[in-house]
Structure 1
Amino acid sequence: MSVTDLPLVTMLRNRMQWQQSRQKVLAENVANADTPNFRSRDLKAPRFMADGSVAAGLGGVGVERTSAMHLAGSGPARPSAERTGTRFEVMPSGNAVSLEDEMMKAGDNQADYQLAASLYQKSLQMLRLAVGK
């Protein structure tokens, strides 16, 4: 069994890769702040399986009607991954990017990445200590 096959190490590595991708999307939002009719985007946070891998294609848990007497659910079937609202006024060009929100997200994402990288490094150091190197 390889060190990289451990669930904790796999989860941390996948989390850091997601945060790198999210940073790219946030940077694109900032870069297109003056583009007419551009809408800001964000990535959904990954969900992890017990083995540390990313759960692919898993939507929310749906409710199944097993009887015609049951009430049908209301509301959207799947939440949108794209943010639709903003706390600030839309620019005259129709652009809905808020630089303040994007920079706050980028700062939070950077702090989360640094935490995951630190945990990754500490877990590898702990494994080296356990092996005796």
Structure 2
Amino acid sequence: MAIGDLPIFEMMKQRMQWLTARQQVLAQNVANADTPGYTARDLKQLDFGAMVERSGPALRAVATQAGHIGSPVTGRGQGMHPGQATGGEVIKKPDFETSPTGNSVVLEDQMIKVAQNQMDYQTVTGLYSKSLGLIKIALGRS
């Protein structure tokens, strides 16, 4: 098993791909800020719960003695392909501020989203680096 095959790294990779795609959508919004009739867009958020469910087989609680309470997990990991991403669909986000030309892009809102997107990307890359460092320490290659 390669390091890149670990579920946590796969989830970080999907998150970084989603953040890259969102940056492109936000850039299109900014570029079309003066286009008549343009509606601001954004990406549907990634479903972290679905990513965790796809990352491996569902674990089931097992009652090993009569006094134990069993709570099997149902419906997890079914119906989704391991490589299938959730979220990422472009959705139109009409805003309450629409110009007389029908444009709904508010540059201040878009810049806030761009800054948040950048911070999220930096967080994921930092987490990725720290995770690699922990694996190297565990393997004795610090």
Same topology, TM > 0.5:
yes
How much does 1:55 deviate? 5.3
**1:54-98 deviations in Å (ceiling 9; x for gaps):** 65468xxxxxxxxxxxxxxxxxxxxx9321233x3x222211110
Question: SS at 2:38's partner residue?
Answer: coil
Structure 2: which 5+ runs fail to align? 57-81
Asked if the contact 2:44–2:91 (Cα under 8 Å) also holds between the matched residues in 1, the reply is: yes
Instruction: Map 1:111-122 to 2 at 5 A.
Output: 111-122=119-130
- Which one has the bigger strand percentage? 2
Question: SS at 2:94's partner residue?
Answer: coil
Asked if the contact 2:46–2:86 (Cα under 8 Å) also holds between the matched residues in 1, the reply is: no
Q: 1:107 aligns with which of 88, 95, 115?
A: 115
State yes or no: 1:85 paired with 2:95.
yes
How much does 1:132 deviate? 1.3
Asked if the contact 1:11–1:54 (Cα under 8 Å) also holds between the matched residues in 2, the reply is: no
Q: How many residues are paired up?
A: 110
The one-letter code of the counterpart of 1:39 is T
Between the aligned partners of 1:123 and 1:27, the Cα distance in structure 2 is 30
Q: 1:49 aligns with which of 35, 40, 52?
A: 52
Structure 1: which 5+ runs fail to align? 59-79
Between the aligned partners of 2:23 and 2:4, the Cα distance in structure 1 is 24
Structure with higher RCO (Cα < 8 A, 6+ apart):
1
Between the aligned partners of 2:109 and 2:24, the Cα distance in structure 1 is 15
Asked if the contact 2:14–2:85 (Cα under 8 Å) also holds between the matched residues in 1, the reply is: no
Between the aligned partners of 2:122 and 2:6, the Cα distance in structure 1 is 20
Show structure 1 runs of 4+ deviating over 4 A: 52-58
